[in-house]
Amino acid sequence: MTSIKTDSNNLRIMELDPGLEPFKDHLEYRMKRFTEQKMLIDQNEGSLEEFAKGYLKFGLNREEGNVVYREWAPAAEEAQLIGDFNGWDGSNHKMEKNQFGVWTIKIPDVNGTSAIPHNSRVKFRFKHNNGVWVDRIPAWIKYAIVDSSKFAAPYDGVYWDPPASERYKFNYPRPPKPDAPRIYEAHVGMSSSEAKVNSYREFADNVLPRIHANNYNTVQLMAIMEHSYYGSFGYHVTNFFAVSSRSGTPEDLKYLIDKAHSLGIRVLMDVVHSHVSNNVTDGLNGFDVGQGTQDSYFHTGDRGYHTQWDSRLFNYSNWEVLRFLLSNLVWWIEEFKFDGFRFDGVTSMLYHHHGINMAFTGDYNEYFSESTDVDAVVYMMLANDLIHSLFPDATVIAEDVSGMPGLGRPVDEGGVGFDYRLAMGIPDKWIDYVKNKNEDEWSMNDISRSLTNRRYTEKCVAYAESHDQSIVGDKTIAFLLMDNEMYTGMSCLTEASPVIDRGIALHKMIHFITMALGGEGYLSFMGNEFGHPEWIDFPRVGNDWSYDKCRRQWELVDTEHLRYKFMNAFDRAMNLLDEKFSFLSSTKQIVSSADEDDKVIVFERGDLVFVFNFHPVNTYDGYKVGCDLPGKYKVALDSDAFEFGGHGRVGHDVDHFTSPEGTPGVPETNFNNRPNSFKVLSPPRTCVVYYRVEEDIVEETEASVSLIEDSDLDDVKIIKEATPVTESKAQVLEISEEEKKEDHDNKRLI
């Protein structure tokens, strides 16, 4: 604990951001709380890692020829284990309670066979203080099922302990952590083209190959933890250690993850520790039978209830709640080989007001005050410390809209410890532009400022749209741009209408500039890569329990004569560009021009020069763009190429030679503060990326071949001679620390 104590007196996040100095007391207090909590756990449980193996003790487990069941229910007066194994009569299976409120029963094997058969139903029966007996699903249950033939039937817990012959064995190692995650957000249940709930195995066999083909290196799975209400999108969790039985068994999910790993794809889990389903019959909320706050998983009164989500809120200061949640994270990593998490609802966790009716302005007083829920912050610090200790290559992402400083810095610096935060303001900006502004009102400065407005040294995952922008009541970007014409105008057998032509062009540009300028990672939701039309609507009373819009219409992108293939091909090309040039992970990001009259944004990311012309009609021939290094540049990616549904106006065999600008070492004499420039053709609603040819590596005869030679329109058109950045070259391109800290007025990322 010595090193942690030292860090609490020397919060390095304040060295990165001197603006945190007035809040030193707050930061030291939460670091002290973290240190003390971890020390207590070490003293009483052996270590944080041992503490977080609660699933080996709680719930139903095998121990030396017995099934042992333990449940924390301090307010219960009597308790029994019931199920198929005893005819649902618990009179002969009464449990005993210890001084910590933990109930236990040990059931010996019968003739060498478990008294509770694998895959049989079980429940926890207990009597609370008003004398009423209730049946609940064990809190740590590893599988839960429902009788689908009965409307609104309750779930049953299932004792899951398959024999060795039926237990899935992983065959592939975890892929290495990528320099930048390119994330495909997916919902297994709605991933079928049929109007049904898809299975883990069908997703693995049919959807993972699509994700791999589009060059994503990470898949983020939603709705994995069991949730009794399908329409909650998986965010009203009822059983935290159980996989959603709608899509299959725990072994089926393991098959999916192993299949992803075989393709080099890492798998993140959308974990929900911010709140709990209000469902009493099936969920954790059923254990709350009038307890005081220290005898319950939840806070009592208003503090324990989220009014907008109609859900219960954890008491993060409670010892057993910490054990439950931390063990939950380790369970998914160890048992299922997940490679990390996307924490849902972090803003709600960070503040007592949960972000409700809060418009965060960036004032630091909004982040560090009595409104901050320090208990929840300490829990997240413990969680991130645990995850990265157990699995250093884990990727952990925070869904936070507030922008709390330090959220994405390591715990030992005084941060909360997340690797990335979602850049949640970006999709809101695009929705506003597409819905409410004519193209002549689009501001290049506002777009570039919104995309680069993130904290220095805290990484972000950018996205133009996720599942949030696709649910019923809203529309995807493609649907907003093209609307009803997507039903009639997507055939290549007829000429594209102005609406379709504009829509496809802007769809490509919006997603690509978000990826290239918006963060250190990128995310796209399942189907949006090819402009999936319509919205997502889960089966419910209001739509007569229809699955029609709770699926993905893969046939649209698979049909050769439909234009969806163009957006899909460009999505594939965007990801391949990063695969070849690693621009997402580069710290070199400079916006050299955001011209409001021309409607053009020019920037550099890594070695690449990006030119985005948002003007609806103007073509600029000989348009001058600034760059860092001198030499010869060629086209690396062109959204206007025929392969991507464009008009083929940009020549890919053209060599662009740079000219020096101004006095060396005197930026104010340069062109847009860049020491070199070259000229390009820039058609309207087109983005083109240029790479610098290494003359000493690439022969002149090879340099003229700029695209993969393949007639298949679905193939990616990226340059063959993508030269990897050497270490010495990367050092030359690195921006100085002083340059990095320049403000947004100089159009530089801080």
Residue ending a domain, among 675, 693, 711, is 693
Q: Phi and psi of 125, rounded to 5°? A: -110, 125
Q: Phi and psi of 625, rounded to 5°? A: -125, 140
End-to-end CA distance of the chain: 34
In a domain, 218, yes or no: no
Q: Residue 700 is inside which H or E element, if any? A: helix 700-703
pLDDT of residue 534: 86
Angle at 662 between CA 661 and CA 666, to 5 degrees: 120
In a domain, 215, yes or no: no
Instruction: Provide the number of structural domains found in the chain.
Output: 2
**Residue 147, number of CB atoms within 10 A of its CB:** 10
Q: Phi and psi of 131, rounded to 5°? A: 85, 0
Q: Which one of the listed residues 295, 339, 399, 607 is annotated catalytic?
A: 399
Tokens at 452, concatenated = 């680069």
Structural domain harbouring 664: 590-693
Q: Residue 738 is inside which H or E element, if any? A: helix 737-740
In a domain, 621, yes or no: yes
Residue ending a domain, among 134, 159, 184, is 159
Residue ending a domain, among 104, 137, 159, is 159
Length of the chain: 750
In a domain, 595, yes or no: yes
User: 105: domain CATH number?
Assistant: 2.60.40.10
| 3 state DSSP class of 458 | coil
pLDDT of residue 289: 72
In a domain, 41, yes or no: no
In a domain, 414, yes or no: no
Tokens at 545, concatenated = 């329990």
Q: Which one of the listed residues 344, 465, 501, 578 is annotated catalytic?
A: 344
Measured distance CA(260)–CA(338) in Å, rounded: 10
pLDDT of residue 508: 98
User: 628: domain CATH number?
Assistant: 2.60.40.1180
Residue 504, classified by CB atoms within 10 Å of its CB into exposed (0-12), middle (13-18) or buried (19+), is buried
Looking at residue 582, its amino acid is S
* Closest among 630, 631, 623 to 679, alpha carbons compared: 623
Alpha helices in 190-345 (DSSP H): 200-202, 208-213, 250-262, 319-336
Alpha helices in 437-523 (DSSP H): 444-452, 477-482, 485-488, 498-517
Regions of the chain where pLDDT drops below 50:
1-8, 696-750
Measured distance CA(367)–CA(369) in Å, rounded: 6
pLDDT of residue 350: 98
pLDDT of 502-545, one tens digit each? 999 999 999 999 999 999 999 999 999 999 998 899 999 899 99
Told to judge if 710 belongs to the known catalytic residues of this protein, a careful annotator would answer: no
Q: Phi and psi of 343, rounded to 5°? A: -80, 120
Measured distance CA(709)–CA(720) in Å, rounded: 9
Residues 134 and 140 sit within 8 Å (Cβ to Cβ): no
Told to judge if 344 belongs to the known catalytic residues of this protein, a careful annotator would answer: yes
In a domain, 744, yes or no: no
Residue 612 pairs in a beta bridge with 601, 687
> pTM of the full predicted structure?
0.91
**Residue 58, number of CB atoms within 10 A of its CB:** 23
In a domain, 283, yes or no: no
pLDDT of residue 398: 98
